[in-house]
Structure 1
């Protein structure tokens, strides 16, 4: 069974949208790790708006001779991998890009059925990209198998992307690391736990 991995940059207060407002750079060691993680994928799940941002950049990045070796490797992956673009209505045209499939999922049930079938197909793991609304929908359906966060040491105004979720989600830390630009990398998997009674006091939590 293939895994769906949410891999995203975020702030200390959980902001996900408009990264140009708060990302102060991607250091070489962080970018190499991003590319290394991407080597384990062959499919990208993305909402329409984020897809258009990607389609405006990556095809050109592949054709340019400038840029780092890591960026050229990422451009090759992004242009080669399958891009699955989700929308609720499908009423807007998409920019043409190699190996792109459009999926119209009008309901959460349709989205869940499609993703469950996709996970059962042969292939490498699947990267859940933005936008934030689409990512939250997949998390709420309990279909994310791993979480990779690049946490920037920034507090920025914006809606925390976990805030609309109504269910409790326990995560188990797999690994953690730091990068030269101060970013912290966190790798989690969901943890299924039996429902525990709410502690009556802080002291009770420590016993």
Structure 2
């Protein structure tokens, strides 16, 4: 893939109300068909953007998962160990658990974060997975730098931090595709909708005519 076509993809498991933090409070499992889909999508990434706390959770699990679990889990473990991991923080001062192919990125302000990511998207490579945690995901979405949205929506509502909580304005998305899995989770694939001329409606009824 050329540098011009490189995209930042927000791919996350979430709830009906958009929660993305503390998944153990609401995530009730990943079915085999859903996991295979996630693994297939991940084959298109060569970089993951992650906050320090989420990185530590990943570093505690994936290195030891190469020889554990299902075939899909082992394949995902190999992908996670090989992929470039960019770990973002405001200061870059906190130590990180050693892992393969890790780079620390200090972005003191949102302007610093935007500058780094815009440059990253121009470099040759595959697509870039915006993983989390919640603060990093919210910041990148609010900066308008997400090119693709892939949500695995769990049929539950849970109070917490949502991916759209810090949006400075509305965001219109265009649906590219959807699929459902045996555990009731729905995969929704969106891209940002291009701005179009607005037609002012006086009432909801006008929208239906």
What TM bracket, shorter-length normalisation? over 0.9
Q: Give the Cα–Cα distance (whole angstroms) in 2 for the partners of residues 123 and 160 of structure 1.
A: 29
- 1:157 Cα offset (Å): 2.1
Corresponding position of 2:54: 50
Q: Please give the per-residue CA displacement for 1:128-183, whole angstroms capped at 9, x wherever unaligned.
A: 00101100111111111100000001111223331221212110000011000000
Where 2:20 maps in the other structure, the secondary structure is coil
Q: Please give the per-residue CA displacement for 1:97-123, whole angstroms capped at 9, x wherever unaligned.
A: 100000001111111111111111111
Query: How is 1:28-43 mapped onto 2 (pairs within 5 angstroms)?
Result: 28-43=32-47
Worse-superposed segment, 170-179 or 187-196: 187-196
Normalised by the size of structure 1, how large is the TM-score?
Answer: 0.96
Where 1:110 maps in the other structure, the secondary structure is helix
Corresponding position of 2:85: 83
Corresponding position of 2:192: 190
Q: Give the Cα–Cα distance (whole angstroms) in 2 for the partners of residues 101 and 186 of structure 1.
A: 30
Corresponding position of 2:22: 18
Corresponding position of 1:157: 159
Worse-superposed segment, 143-152 or 189-198: 189-198
Instruction: Could you tell me which runs of 5 or more consecutive residues in structure 1 were left unpaired when the two chains were aligned.
Output: none
Q: Give the Cα–Cα distance (whole angstroms) in 2 for the partners of residues 153 and 203 of structure 1.
A: 30
Corresponding position of 1:123: 125
Where 1:129 maps in the other structure, the secondary structure is strand
Corresponding position of 1:67: 69
Q: Give the Cα–Cα distance (whole angstroms) in 1 for the partners of residues 73 and 98 of structure 2.
A: 22
- 1:37 Cα offset (Å): 0.1
Corresponding position of 1:92: 94
- 1:204 Cα offset (Å): 1.2
Query: Does residue 13 of structure 2 align to residue 9 of structure 1?
Result: yes
2:134–2:162 contact (8 Å) kept in structure 1: no
Instruction: Could you tell me which runs of 5 or more consecutive residues in structure 2 were left unpaired when the two chains were aligned.
Output: none
Corresponding position of 2:140: 138
Q: Give the Cα–Cα distance (whole angstroms) in 2 for the partners of residues 51 and 16 of structure 1.
A: 15
Corresponding position of 2:170: 168
- 1:13 Cα offset (Å): 1.3
Where 1:150 maps in the other structure, the secondary structure is strand
